[in-house]
A = this chain, B = another copy of it.
Amino acid sequence: MMHTPKLQTDVRQEQIIRAALNVVASHGLKGLTMQRVAEQVGLAPSAIYRHFQNKDDVLNSILGLIQGRLLGNVRAVSEEVTDPLERLQSLLQRQVQLLRENPAIPRIVFSEEVYQGHPERQATVYRIIRSYLERLRHIMWQGQQTGHIRPDVTPDTLALMFLGLIQTAVFLWHMSGGAFDMVEHTERAWRVLSQAIRAK
C-alpha cells in the first residue's frame, strides 16, 4: 500500500520535527517514539529513516529549532525596545508565552534526561543555555553602562536570577497541570527583581 503521497525531504524533515515536538508536548520525552512521530505525520515508522539518520538525528534537529526560537525572542526584543529594563520585561513576557505555546521546549531543555549517555548532546544544550545567558548578561551590562541598572552586582548573577524566574514558573506550571498562573507570577516576581536591580 502507498497511502501517503511522496513529498520532498526538506518538507518532510520539518513535518517530522514539528510532529516530534507535539509528541513530546503530549507524551513527554520518554513517550517520544518513532512510531508516534510517524503516526502524527501520517507515515510508516520506517519512512522517517528516509529523512533522518536515526532518532538521535531527530533530537538534534529539535535542539536546533529550540535554539532558534529562544534566541529569536532575544533578537526581537532588542529590535523592539531600547531601555534595558523594558527589554528584559518584554523578553520575560515573550519567553513565557513561547514556553506556554510550546510545552515541549522546557521538557527537553530542563529534562536532564536528553543527554544521559550523550555527552555531545549535553554539550550542545549547555552551549544553547550559555549563549542565551550571554545575551542576558549583555543586556544587563549595557544597562549598567547606561546607568539604568545598579553597577555593584555582576551581570552573571542578574542573568541567572532572570533565568530563575522563568524556570520556576515553567516548572510549577507543568507540575500543576497548567493550573499555575505563569503570567501573574512572572509579573509579580519581575516587579520585585526589576526594583532590586534598578539603579538608585
Interface of A toward B, CB cutoff 8 Å? 27-31, 106-107, 110-113, 116-117, 122, 125-126, 129, 153-154, 156-158, 160-161, 163-165, 167-169, 171-172, 174-177, 185, 188-189, 191-193, 195-197
Of B113, B126, B153, the residue contacting A29 (CB under 8 A) is B113
- A118: shortest Cβ distance to chain B, in Å? 10
- A127: shortest Cβ distance to chain B, in Å? 10
Known: A164-B164, A164-B165, A167-B168. A113 touches B116 (CB 8 A): no
Q: Is A110 within 8 A of B113, CB to CB?
A: no
Q: Using CB atoms, name the residue of chain B closest to A158.
A: B192
Q: Using CB atoms, name the residue of chain B closest to A175.
A: B126
Whole-angstrom CA separation of A106 from B158 in the bound complex: 23
User: Per DSSP, are chain A's interface residues mostly helix, strand or loop, or mixed?
Assistant: helix
Of B27, B112, B156, B167, the residue contacting A107 (CB under 8 A) is B112
Whole-angstrom CA separation of A171 from B191 in the bound complex: 24
Q: Is B113 within 8 A of A153, CB to CB?
A: no
Closest 7 CB pairs of A and B: A164-B164, A196-B196, A28-B116, A164-B168, A157-B188, A126-B175, A30-B116
Q: Is A161 within 8 A of B126, CB to CB?
A: no
Q: Is B30 within 8 A of A188, CB to CB?
A: no
